[in-house]
């Protein structure tokens, strides 16, 4: 019975624990700096003075929540909100994915009732049992993938982590939710005023000033997005203990010959979120190790010993000579 119990723990209980829990609902707070940030509300109201913010302290929330599960599949929402230091929302997004609860990769055929964004690669986190290997991650803004490279091991807040880096180059923005927050065109005078306030080298500003009169009025705009990220991941649980991320959106015009940043934001977990993530990683890692290693051994070793004793007892009993009267 002890041996059977050890087997049930190892092959039944542990696999159920080594997957994204159905009650996952985690929010992490971030902080950082917006080197450049276009304020769509101010721009729409004609407030050009407040339409472009520079070197602004910002904070952000990211919430990952499981909305539903179906066997090994989970419907997961990824909500991000960017705010100024005083709490004014200046950007937000919400994307829902269908992910495999063990690999955290995309589910090929999600349930028909789920409204999810098609994707490839990792989106919301790392798999339990993350390896010293490269992964593929999804960049939703450009609807494309990017390599995520394992670079080193490093202690973070008292937790041994694997460090991964991703560097997705500038590509056209294809996500309709993102594009809806950006102007499709700007009047030449408004664009000239904004360009003059951008933190650009004087030579680039001069080039823009010469080109703008030749572009017509209004000037049609397209956008590109690039992101560079570093992740500190506790491998046993796949939990992200810290992350550092720099995102850049650029408005392109003149047939793509000219570009100017309208969103250049760097964020990272704040101290409280690093501490909370480290605690979660320690607690869940301890739980996984207890159920996958400690308890099975506690049951298996005495079970095997008793089994051996029983077999010896049976053999000895069979060999004992019958008593004579």
The answer to whether 252 and 223 have CB atoms below 8 angstroms apart is yes
End-to-end CA distance of the chain: 40
d(CA 121, CA 148): 10
Other beta carbons less than 10 A from residue 216's beta carbon:
11
**CA 128 – CA 234 distance, rounded (Å):** 9
Cβ(159)–Cβ(241) below 8 Å: yes
126 phi, psi to nearest 5 deg: -105, 155
Whether this model's pTM surpasses 0.75:
yes
140 token code pair: 């939703």
- Range list of H helices, 198-270: 202-211
Q: What is the mean pLDDT of each run of 10 residues along the chain (325 residues)?
A: 45 58 95 89 74 90 97 96 90 95 94 95 94 97 98 96 97 95 84 74 75 79 96 96 96 77 95 96 74 46 53 61 50
In sequence order, which residues have a C-beta less than 8 Å from that of residue 305 and are 6 or more positions away?
none
Helix (H) or strand (E) holding 138: strand 135-139
Classified as helix, coil or strand, 147 is strand
């Amino acid at each position: 019975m002890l041996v059977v119990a050890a087997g049930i723990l190892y092959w039944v209980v542990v696999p159920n624990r080594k997957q994204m829990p159905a009650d996952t609902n985690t929010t992490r707070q971030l902080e950082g700096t917006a080197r450049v940030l276009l304020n769509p509300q101010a721009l729409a109201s004609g407030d050009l003075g407040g339409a472009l913010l520079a070197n602004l302290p910002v904070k952000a929330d990211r919430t990952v929540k499981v909305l539903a599960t179906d066997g090994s599949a989970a419907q997961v929402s990824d909500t991000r909100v960017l705010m100024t230091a005083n709490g004014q929302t200046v950007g937000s997004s919400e994307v829902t994915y269908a992910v495999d609860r063990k690999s955290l990769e995309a589910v090929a055929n999600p349930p028909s009732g789920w409204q999810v964004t098609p994707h490839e690669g990792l989106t919301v986190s790392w798999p339990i049992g993350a390896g010293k290997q490269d992964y593929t991650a999804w960049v939703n803004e450009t609807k494309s993938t990017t390599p995520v490279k394992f670079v080193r091991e490093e202690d973070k807040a008292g937790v041994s982590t694997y460090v991964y880096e991703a560097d997705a180059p500038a590509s056209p923005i294809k996500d309709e939710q993102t594009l809806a927050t950006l102007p499709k065109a700007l009047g030449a005078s408004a664009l000239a005023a904004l360009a003059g306030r951008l933190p650009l080298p004087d030579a680039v500003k001069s080039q823009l000033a010469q080109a703008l009169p030749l572009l017509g009025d209004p000037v049609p705009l397209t956008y590109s997005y690039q992101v560079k990220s570093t992740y500190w991941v506790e491998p046993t649980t796949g939990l992200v203990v810290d992350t550092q991320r720099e995102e850049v959106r650029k408005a392109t015009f003149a047939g793509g010959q000219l570009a100017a940043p309208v969103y250049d934001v760097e964020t990272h977990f704040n101290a409280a979120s690093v501490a909370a993530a480290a605690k979660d990683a320690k607690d869940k890692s301890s739980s996984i190790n207890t159920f996958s290693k400690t308890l099975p051994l506690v049951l298996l070793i005495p079970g095997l010993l008793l089994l051996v004793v029983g077999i010896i007892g049976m053999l000895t009993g069979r060999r004992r000579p019958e008593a004579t009267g």
